[in-house]
Amino acid sequence: MQGLFDVQSAAPGCYMDSEVSVQAGAPTRRAEMTTLIPEKNKRPGVYYAVTDDGLEVPVIDVTHPAFDAKLDDAAIAAMLEKFKRDEQRRAKVPKPLQRLLLRLVAGRSVLGRGLMAGAGGVLGGMTMYLGKLGPENLGRGWARGVDRQIAAAAPTMLARLRLEDMARLLAEGLAPVLSARPQRPLHLFNIAGGPAADSWNALLLLRKDYPQTLSRRRISIHVLDPDESGPAFGARAIAALRAEGGPLRELDVSFRRVHYDWRDVEPLRKLLRDSELGDAVVGCSSEGGLFEYGSDEEIVTHLEALRLGTPGDSLVVGSVTRGDGPTKFAQEFTIRPRTLEAFRALVLRARWEVAKVITRPFSYNVSLRRISG
């Protein structure tokens, strides 16, 4: 899988729609895939969709017990201590030998190949998604022992929590606005969203905790990403959740992917204009994306565009890699760690402020609100 900046961007001032879409629950031809490795041990109440590689995998639903990581403070502390010891042992192995072992062992696994492809750049959206399934939800037909080890490692387990944090920040922040604007359209913009699992999980949480807020409302999910495979899976996931008996079956949801390179913010500005937001309800998210990999100027220009192009009570949520001691794994990618104080000062330049923070060992998961005036 290629990194965010390894794909030729659209022409300046333009954006390109992918053929990946879901309208009223019906997947387009692009969203229909042949299942090469079906999941033979489906869990009750869990829905499944097919990746571009033909793997039938679960659709993450943070409201379902199957996706509860069961990580309290004691479990997180123990997991981090083990991860620290493992890192110390690996540090004693010469790097050429480490790379050789990685190719021999991880190269035989789906997640291992994804990690190697992302080394020195950005992890692909589907690699992260498969890891967030957790070791217990990886398919027996394709996952190896090393895949389960990667999925059980501290960075991956904490990414599961990060996804849930993003979805809850979105749902809790949007609920009062949705209640105040019944039947108005809801637009969810997902920057570097991959499959956009935080967007559909926000809908699942709203459906569970605030069931009336989504009734008789058009819902649009816009995924801005250079990759096609992640959004393609996201379209199939939404279709599965909207199928007969699914938790989102009664909702009017559309899903579109926009080819995007965040070094040029003009396509986002155009998308916001073309969406005719007016008095719509708007939420924007970037889990493991813009606030972690973007430069200061890229973050500021995006927040300025969102400030000017969305209604005054729009919500922005995202994850920020902690700058006060991130583990060495982050050094393998182009992540830009920041302290919370530095991030607060950064968003203030675009006249936003941090409204809520969930502090995790590797990240600050935040929601932002604009400063009035």
User: Is residue 48 a part of any domain in this protein?
Assistant: no
Cα–Cα nearest to 336, from 304, 285, 288, 264: 288
Task: Supply the DSSP string of 31-49, one letter for each residue.
Answer: G----SB--SSPPTT--EE
pLDDT of residue 283 exceeding 50: yes
When comparing pLDDT for 86 and 164, which is higher? Answer: 164
Residues 102 and 199 in one domain: no
Which residues are CB-neighbours of 366 under 8 A, at least 6 positions away?
169, 291, 317, 318, 319, 320, 343, 354, 355, 356, 357, 358
* Range(s) of the domain holding residue 296: 16-31+161-370
Tokens 């990414």 label which residue?
159
User: Is residue 37 a part of any domain in this protein?
Assistant: no
Looking at residue 102, its pLDDT comes to 67
Residues 271 and 168 in one domain: yes
Residue 250 main-chain phi, psi, to 5 deg: -90, 0
When comparing pLDDT for 172 and 88, which is higher? Answer: 172
- pTM value is 0.88
pLDDT per residue as tens digits for the range 189-215: 999 989 999 999 999 999 999 999 999
Residue 319 CA: distances (Å) to CA of 175, 310, 348, 368? 20, 21, 16, 11
Q: Tell me which amino acid residue 180 is.
A: A
pLDDT of residue 164 exceeding 70: yes
Residues 140 and 185 in one domain: no
Residues 226 and 283 in one domain: yes
pLDDT per residue as tens digits for the range 128-151: 999 999 999 999 889 998 899 989
pLDDT of residue 23 exceeding 60: no
Residues 279 and 167 in one domain: yes
Number of domains within the chain: 2
**Is 21 in a helix, a strand, or coil?**
strand
Looking at residue 5, its pLDDT comes to 21
Average pLDDT over every residue of 153-162:
93
Residues 314 and 178 in one domain: yes
Structure tokens at 120: 């020195």
Cα–Cα nearest to 233, from 332, 147, 125, 152: 125
Sheet architecture: strand order including 252-259: 26-27, 16-23, 252-259, 218-224, 186-191, 281-286, 315-321, 363-370, 352-359
C-alpha 218/C-alpha 24 separation (Å) is 10
